[in-house]
């Protein structure tokens, strides 16, 4: 579209998704590290709607060093279902643990079973049989089977060298754990020491022990901020190089692992992008 963009989308109409489109002079993309990167990859490589997006698109992806180590406390109740998910942290981003920059947190998880039982028990119209069943399950919940299990959380500044691309029209991550392994191992050793010091025994996650697989709730990068299209996808405003008024405003523009929970960083970047748009009268 001359002077702007046409965005293809599905609209909800009468309970069904129907294809449509919307035109706009200014577009802000905010679908997260995976979503925004995939959308830009499809626009550049599949549909050729944005053919000049930087070749650095998809690069500098990071898991933000996320790692979880469950620990068993046989002789004390740690009650992980009480309070918020994270209550305290140890900042080791100065590299004091084997030269690796890591951030350790205690973990918790909501008592979903207890909450579900309470909602069911208070449901109007429950039969006597249903009530008896609910009370029986609530009794099992009261055994507090999870009171002796605590997850240790962490983030770390990993190598941030993953690459997202399209393969067979699907988003594909090419990420070699080898360069980030020292960071993850430093986290694991620290978790083991802390668990032991507090009377627990840490369990190495089987996915890591057997195949070095990781799960991250904090993916970053893919449309990284840079100084030019040769080293990034967006500039300091969040504007895609070569495409005026096309902005990205989410975790995909973070150019490397920050080793912390990134929500406030992402929020600050979003506010920065919005402020620049307003200040420049876009």
The residue-averaged pLDDT of 73-94 equals 89
* pLDDT tens column, 177-212: 999 999 999 999 999 999 999 999 999 998 899 989
pLDDT band at residue 234, thresholds of 50, 70 and 90? very high
* Model confidence, pTM: 0.85
Q: Alpha-carbon distance 79 to 94, whole Å?
A: 31
Residue 162 has pLDDT above 60, yes or no: yes
Confidence of residue 109 (pLDDT cuts 50, 70, 90): confident
Whether the per-residue pLDDT at 117 is higher than 90: the answer is: no
Average pLDDT, the chain: 90
Among 243, 255, 247, smallest CA distance to 271 is for: 247
DSSP assignment of 41-70 equals HIIIIIS-SSTTS-TTTT-SBB-TT-EEEE
DSSP 216-242: -S--B-SS-B-SSTTT-SB-TTSBBTT
With cut-offs at 50, 70 and 90, classify the pLDDT of residue 251. very high
């Amino acid at each position: 579209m001359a002077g702007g963009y046409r965005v293809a989308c599905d609209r909800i109409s009468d309970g069904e998704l129907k294809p449509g489109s919307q035109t706009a002079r200014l577009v802000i993309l905010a679908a997260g590290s995976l979503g925004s990167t995939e959308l830009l990859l499809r626009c550049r490589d599949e549909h050729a709607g944005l053919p000049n997006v930087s070749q650095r698109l998809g690069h500098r992806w990071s898991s933000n060093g996320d790692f979880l180590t469950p620990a068993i406390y046989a002789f004390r109740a740690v009650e992980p279902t009480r309070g918020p998910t994270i209550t305290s942290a140890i900042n080791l981003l100065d590299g004091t643990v084997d030269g690796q920059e890591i951030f350790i947190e205690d973990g918790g998880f909501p008592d979903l079973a207890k909450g579900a039982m309470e909602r069911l028990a208070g449901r109007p119209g429950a039969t006597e049989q249903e009530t008896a069943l609910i009370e029986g399950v609530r009794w099992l919940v009261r055994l507090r089977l999870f009171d002796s299990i605590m997850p240790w959380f962490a983030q770390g500044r990993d190598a941030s060298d993953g690459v997202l691309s399209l393969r067979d029209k699907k988003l594909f991550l090419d990420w070699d754990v080898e360069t980030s392994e020292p960071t993850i191992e430093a986290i694991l050793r620290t978790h083991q020491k802390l668990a032991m010091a507090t009377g627990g025994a840490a369990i190495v996650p089987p996915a890591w022990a057997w195949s070095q697989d990781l799960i991250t709730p904090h993916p970053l990068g893919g449309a990284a901020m840079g100084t030019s299209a040769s080293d990034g996808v967006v500039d300091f405003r969040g504007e895609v190089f070569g495409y005026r008024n096309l902005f990205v405003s989410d975790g995909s523009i973070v150019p490397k692992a920050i080793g912390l929970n990134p929500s406030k960083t992402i929020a600050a970047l979003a506010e920065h992008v919005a402020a620049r748009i307003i200040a420049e009268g876009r």
